[in-house]
Structure 1
Amino acid sequence: MITKQREQELITFILNDELMKFYKSKEWMQLRLKALKRDNHECQLCKAAGRYHKAENVHHMKEVKTHPHLSLTLSNLQCLCIKCHNEVHDRLESTRAPKFMNEERW
């Protein structure tokens, strides 16, 4: 079990924009594994759409920057595949500049 003092320390990392310290903490790593086990290592958005994809990411439904007090709450976590996680955060490939293509297409 996490102490109040340690929990406050982790929240302070988030508030000070030191997210990597939070995400590398043993408390986050343990909670992340619990979420993956709970969701059977399946992407929950793919599953809801009737598809299967392995979950590689654990997503905070209420973002850590706006809700740091929920950063270590299991019910605020959702396991997602990389594609779905990027979509949730609006990091779609279609918004990236297209790669240069040679004018000569054979």
Structure 2
Amino acid sequence: MPKVRRCRHPNCHTIVEQPDHYCQLHHEYEAEYLASRERWARSHDKQYTHHYNTVTRNRTNDKRMQYNFYRTKQWSRLRQIVLERDHYLCAYCQVQGKLTPAKTVDHIVPIEFSPNDKANVANLAIICGRCHRFKTDWEQSYYGTGQGNRMQPVGAIRDIQAVAVLMNGVKHDER
């Protein structure tokens, strides 16, 4: 039996055999779709990855060392300790009374702002993807972290509840 899939055209539920992506009724979109996939593949080739790694991710020696820290056994052990300690639940959602499963371990005070706390278990918490986006936005405005920003002369906030309130304030004000 041949492999099949649904037609990619919106609201069309016709089944087509692979490698086709569109049914006979919408077959004129096939060439355009394949061309767009090819354009995307070309833009995400080795050169794109190389540019991202050398210009964005490893833009300075500090950023390179920070990225390399996440590839060490020490980080793997710390991450596992925190995941088990917090039962794979987002600490920032828990402050708001929600239970959200998560697997990302985040520094409460970012490494860029406080490099000495990068291996401190008390500075680590589990965070879900949604909270991580909001927290990153808040960190960039409060601490001045991120590419193109300048570090701010502010005090470190180590309390998850305070960070959750502040990052949700930024979320509601800016979005």
* TM-score normalised by the chain length of structure 1: 0.67
1:25-61 Cα shifts (integer Å, max 9, x gaps): 1101110111111111100111111111112211111
Report the residue type matching 2:62 in the other structure.
N
* Per-residue CA distance 1:49-96 (angstroms, 9 max, x = gap): 11111122111111101211100000001111111111100188xx8x
User: Residue 17 of structure 1 aligns with which residue?
Assistant: 63
Q: Give the structure 2 partner of residue 58 of structure 1.
A: 105
CA positional deviation for 1:15: 5.9
Gaps of 5+ in 1: 1-13, 96-106
In the TM superposition, 1:1-106 aligns within 5 A as 16-18=62-64, 19-90=66-137
Gaps of 5+ in 2: 1-59, 139-170
Letter aligned with residue 17 of structure 1: K
* Alignment RMSD: 2.1
Q: Would the aligned equivalents of 1:15 and 1:68 in 2 still touch at CA under 8 Å?
A: no
Matched letter for residue 83 of structure 1: R
Q: State the AA in 2 paired with 1:86.
A: R
Cα deviation, 1:2-31, whole Å, max 9, x if unaligned, reads xxxxxxxxxxxx962213211111101110
Equivalent-residue separation in structure 2 for 1:15 and 1:52 (angstroms)? 38
- Spell out structure 1 runs of 4+ moving beyond 4 A: none
Letter in 2 for 1:57: T
Q: Between Structure 1 and Structure 2, how many residues are aligned?
A: 80
